[in-house]
Structure 1
Amino acid sequence: MPLHAACANPYLDNDVVEFLMQQSPTNSLTLPDATGYSPLYHVCSRTRPVCSLLDENETSSTQTTNVNAESSLLQQQQAALYKLISKMLPYYSNFDGVTTPRGWTLLHAAARQGWCGVDVLQLLIQQNPNQLYARTEPQGWTPLHVACGATPTTNNDAQTAMISFLAQQAPTTLHQPDATLTRSTPVEYAVRKHSLAVVRALLEPIPNHNDEDSHGQDSPYLSPHRSKSRGTTLLLHLAAQWNPHVAVLEYLCHRYPHMVSTIPAATRVWSSQRHSKTSTTSMTLMLPLHWACATLAPLANIQVLVRAHPVALMQRDAQRHRTPLEICQTKHGAASYVAYLQTVTNQV
């Protein structure tokens, strides 16, 4: 339908959308198209019109000017989107926010794109606050899950502000696992994908209960991570596998110093194939440094973990009894890792 196509096109002038709205019957403005999306959902799902003003080859002064121009352009685009959504929302006054058969709301759509700004999120939440807690099917994602799991955008400040705002509006969703196989939380998605600014925005408002968690138990603020093959582990152990930004890993080591020396307690998981409870794999029973070596994380990340807990170089995992060096020696293409670990191990 023309209106739906116009709403989905980020490069089309909003005057065209408003003209088509005026020409369309009022009762058709909320109707879904063949894909199940309403016109407003298409607007909220818009990607940002790409017209970057940044060039790595330019001088620093020119880059500064272009950064300011880029920020100004983004603000103009956000204002235009806000204006269009505010004109469309009155037609959805009796709308529950769910716009697709799989439970994706307008707030999910806006959060996924990561550029529309906090004002648009506020506008959508005012229309229906329940969207904050709505979950998609079958993934079980709230808007915060979607925002934290989205690909980082070039306008990182806007995305960080949006994620922080959603966490403030629905703090109980911050550590709720989704319904996927990995049972991931928004915090875990953020650690896996985003910059230090995003991770800090999520974790800084939360009390750090290191004393209560010094024995390796999951913090009440860090939900367990479960799958069919692994039992409960801690956030730093997960981060060691995911190859996050070095700054993120350093921050987690500083915030949760007890985790660098903690081997999670052995747990038991259900094996549907054997119809019995079996012990978790040896991968569960390792320090973060062992995890990083087992997955051949970037060498810079391994160096962070060595500095945080050098004693781990001499420790063996709880089941296969291997040191980090011995783990790397079993990996193909790990010569640089082996050389580094041999050097630092000899210094311990």
Structure 2
Amino acid sequence: MKTGGTGGLEHRDCLERLAWFVSGALDRDEREAVERHLGACEACRTELARTRAVAALHAAAHPLTERLIAAAWAADHPPDSDEIEQHVAECADCREELALARASRALEFSGTGGGEVVALAPVGSAGRPARWPLALAATLAVAALTWGLLEARRGEAARLDAARLAGRLRGAEQQAELAAAARAAGERESQRVRELEREVARRRAPRAGLLLVELLPELALRAASSAPSIELVRTGSADIALLLGLERAGAFASYTVRARRPEGGELWKLEGVRPDERGTLNLLVAAEDLPAGLLRLEVAGERGAQRSPVAAYRLLVRAM
């Protein structure tokens, strides 16, 4: 047993022993070391509470290990054997434990002195005065053997409970990781659906008219200057067709276009925009998505998860 951590036990060693601690399978020294560590480690106390909760859930759904071992060691038909057999027919974990207990019983009785009581040879008349000491010795031997078997069964039950609980904890952690991954995937998919819906809404048919605005590649070179590259005057609720010209548009299969305020606030973003045969990005934008004021359009090429800036345009939008 490693020492030197909180309470004389390393943190990792304490976590590894919690299942055995809950099942009562630790010896006295190890149990005292775990108790000392728990007294000084809040994280391990939290993990102990979780371990006990998992053990309680498991105990509610599965027979106690002592009942499985009792069924394996019983010489006759125990009262609840039908219930246990029905459960193990459906539960692979308990079926394996029952088979292990039966194998342990077979090994116990096949070993030297493993539970077989040999009858004492009858004594002659000369030995009659010593019959009661022999009977007492035989009784004590049987009692000692019975106690030893019971202790062995209790120890085996505690070890099996601890091993089963440790397996349940690992399974719970794996299920939690899978659930978290599924939630993350669902969130990503929901975000993608919202983006697609937004893009479809942007590309709907014009409502009252269409304002066509073409931004040539050379205008992108002036994006860093103080003057706007182009002044856009929109009227009413007319949709706006933005034609963004790019140099070497074929360098990327698709592009991301963002609209920002100069101070950095993002207004909207379109991903997966593909250039036409002229190397132009064609965007249909609702009038309300180009509010009055100074805007910055940024274009980045898409390559996998990476985004490479390729152009930027400055627009001064005026509403009529």
Decide: shared fold, TM above 0.5: no
The structure with the largest alpha-carbon Rg is 2
Please give the range of the TM-score, normalised by the shorter of the 2 chains. Answer: under 0.3
Q: TM-score, normalised by structure 2?
A: 0.23
Structure ranking higher in strand proportion = 2
Q: TM-score, normalised by structure 1?
A: 0.22
**Larger RCO (CA within 8 A; separation ≥ 6):** 2
